[in-house]
Structure 1
């Protein structure tokens, strides 16, 4: 087999794996949304959410740090709650912590996080001027896709984080965060580039930094999304 054929075979295998992961994410989200709708919810709220509806930021973080609602607490090193400015105008939301984040207890500190930092700095901001969090607060083993029970356990923390921070814009990083926030199964390649809404807050979906590490040609599209966010933030300043 020639090097060209080997490269093509590797690319095809990677594509199949990506499609399988995407379908698994879709299946998990569909199952969760359908279950909530059957219970009569028009907004998808976990029953645990009411527990946090009145708590402040520090108490919410303490609750997350001692959370044992799903099996992820048995394998985590640290809870990765979130980091940055608690009064930020811009909030980034990703999927879940990876190995580096689990070890450090801070979101987006690995290679994908370094790329996100460069994007933030290109927007003439710094990490301490924005807020960064994930839907899932503990690392799934081997970076697998989150399970429905894990989503149910973690989502109330994110809902309350958004309520407390009150960002003007949320940048949803990747398929999982985007589809969870917007309650949709539409592909991120279709959703990105336009603002959507989450409970009155504008949401800009864009590709996850980890995706850009594998597909650097997507950086141009991400930068177009960031420029729209910058325009929106500037127009919202009174």
Structure 2
């Protein structure tokens, strides 16, 4: 069963992909744009004549039917089972047909844990939907689960999670109190490799549904995959431009993203795992967090009742 998905980027053919590879540029991310295209029948195929009908055999001369021996009551005649006429549905297609936008929290978590939308389902230990306050002011969005997250089923654990907790504490926030934490990708890529465009495209609807249910006041995007996905889905810039823009040039400003029907401020910063490898950029990250805090304070002044839980 083919599934039609919206496209946000032009499809890269083999020649364009090879040119990018020669220049040392890997198409490491795209929103729901690089999914395999559904097969479309060509006009020539539509005009192809139908095969000629086979001639009917001549009618047989009626004959006296042979005598049929009576059926023994101890051996009743059993009709053969019906032959299935439809081909089996591929699990990826069946999962893609799920109406994610209609799921509540329990159904959404169940769908993520049972998801078969991409190949990552076959190598995960546990899916990682997200954790935290379901009526948050702050939504923290990372990239993909790592080894510890895959083992525990919770985002941002291990050393990167400890650093995130210290960052939140410096802003006067705590995990689970006015804060929800999630990833763009809900299953760990093998050996912590970068997620593929198809994997991001198939997983993004889960994140968008989480945003619709959470109704956060502010989004903090940590890492290039989180930033590129949220800004592209939110219409902040063209996907082509975002693919060419390094993360360092995306930070330092507040974006207004249209996500799940909401106009949300988005601040971009580095991922804690990156900061563990590049501690010199912690100062830039602190500047990003201060920008997020200033934005939260402005929201609080604009609507103090609605933003009472924002840490400032």
Q: Give the superposed CA RMSD.
A: 2.3
- Give a deviation string over 1:125-165, Cα, whole Å, max 9, x none: 10012111000000000011112221122111001011111
For residues 102 and 137 of structure 2, the distance between their equivalents in structure 1, rounded to whole angstroms, comes to 21
Bigger Cα Rg:
2
Query: Which of 155, 180, 183 does residue 131 from structure 1 map onto?
Result: 180
| Larger relative helix fraction | 1
For residues 279 and 28 of structure 2, the distance between their equivalents in structure 1, rounded to whole angstroms, comes to 28
- Give a deviation string over 1:62-81, Cα, whole Å, max 9, x none: 11111111111111110000
Counting only pairs closer than 5 Å after superposition, residues 105-120 of structure 1 correspond to structure 2 as 105-120=153-168
For residues 34 and 78 of structure 1, the distance between their equivalents in structure 2, rounded to whole angstroms, comes to 26
Moved over 4 A (4+): 47-50
CA-CA distance at 1:52 after TM superposition: 1.6
CA-CA distance at 1:231 after TM superposition: 1.8
For residues 94 and 88 of structure 1, the distance between their equivalents in structure 2, rounded to whole angstroms, comes to 16
Aligned to 2:111: 63
Counterparts in 2 of 1:53 and 1:230: CA distance versus 1, 3 Å: same
For residues 97 and 256 of structure 2, the distance between their equivalents in structure 1, rounded to whole angstroms, comes to 20
Aligned to 1:33: 33
Query: Which of 228, 233, 238 does residue 296 from structure 2 map onto?
Result: 233
Counterparts in 2 of 1:31 and 1:205: CA distance versus 1, 3 Å: closer
Q: Secondary structure at the match of 1:201?
A: strand
Q: Secondary structure at the match of 1:128?
A: coil
TM-score with structure 2 length normalisation?
Answer: 0.62
**Is 1:212 the counterpart of 2:271 in the alignment?**
no
Aligned to 2:212: 163
Contact 1:101–1:109 under 8 Å retained in 2: yes
CA-CA distance at 1:172 after TM superposition: 0.6
Counterparts in 2 of 1:137 and 1:217: CA distance versus 1, 3 Å: same
Structure 1: which 5+ residue stretches go unaligned? 1-21, 37-46
Aligned to 1:146: 195
Higher RCO (CA 8 Å, separation ≥ 6 residues): 1
Q: Secondary structure at the match of 1:29?
A: coil
For residues 31 and 204 of structure 1, the distance between their equivalents in structure 2, rounded to whole angstroms, comes to 18
- Give a deviation string over 1:33-82, Cα, whole Å, max 9, x none: 3669xxxxxxxxxx959712122122111111111111111111100000
For residues 137 and 31 of structure 1, the distance between their equivalents in structure 2, rounded to whole angstroms, comes to 15
Count of matched residue positions in the alignment of Structure 1 and Structure 2 = 207
Counterparts in 2 of 1:196 and 1:48: CA distance versus 1, 3 Å: farther
Aligned to 1:85: 133
